[in-house]
Amino acid sequence: MANLDAIIKENAENTERITQNTQGYVISNNLHGTIATSTYDNTISMGIIKLLCGTLVDTARSAVRDLDCTNDLTFLRVATKKCEYLIAPEEEFTIVVVQ
């Protein structure tokens, strides 16, 4: 699989266009639990990675499998009073868009 950073560079233009009307986004490198790219500062980015890409995705994935072991999580939308977190969990990376 091509290097995650290379993929991000290749898709930079698309990413900018798609995320124009959003508050921001974070892409986490799931293998290392690090920030692949982000529009936020380090503290907010790591908070999103730890709490959403990590804990929440893991909890959602295991709940889905516990309810039906042949099923799997594909996407999560967390609506809140102030914004909405759109979470796309892939194997090597997870994309979180805040709108």
Contact between 44 and its own copies per CB under 8 A: yes
**Count of residues of this chain found to bind its own copies when the rule CB under 8 A is applied:** 28
Closer residue to its own copies, CB minimum distance, 4 or 97: 97
- Three-class secondary structure of residue 59 per DSSP: helix
Contact between 11 and its own copies per CB under 8 A: no
Closer residue to its own copies, CB minimum distance, 13 or 68: 68
Contact between 48 and its own copies per CB under 8 A: yes
What gap in Å lies between CA 43 and CA 19, rounded to an integer?
21
Q: Which residues contact 34 (CB under 8 A, 6 or more apart)?
A: 28, 49
- Select from 1-9, 13-21, 29-37, 59-67 the region that touches its own copies (CB under 8 A): 59-67
What gap in Å lies between CA 76 and CA 89, rounded to an integer?
8
* Footprint of its own copies (CB under 8 A): 44, 47-48, 51-52, 55-56, 59-60, 63-64, 66-68, 70-83
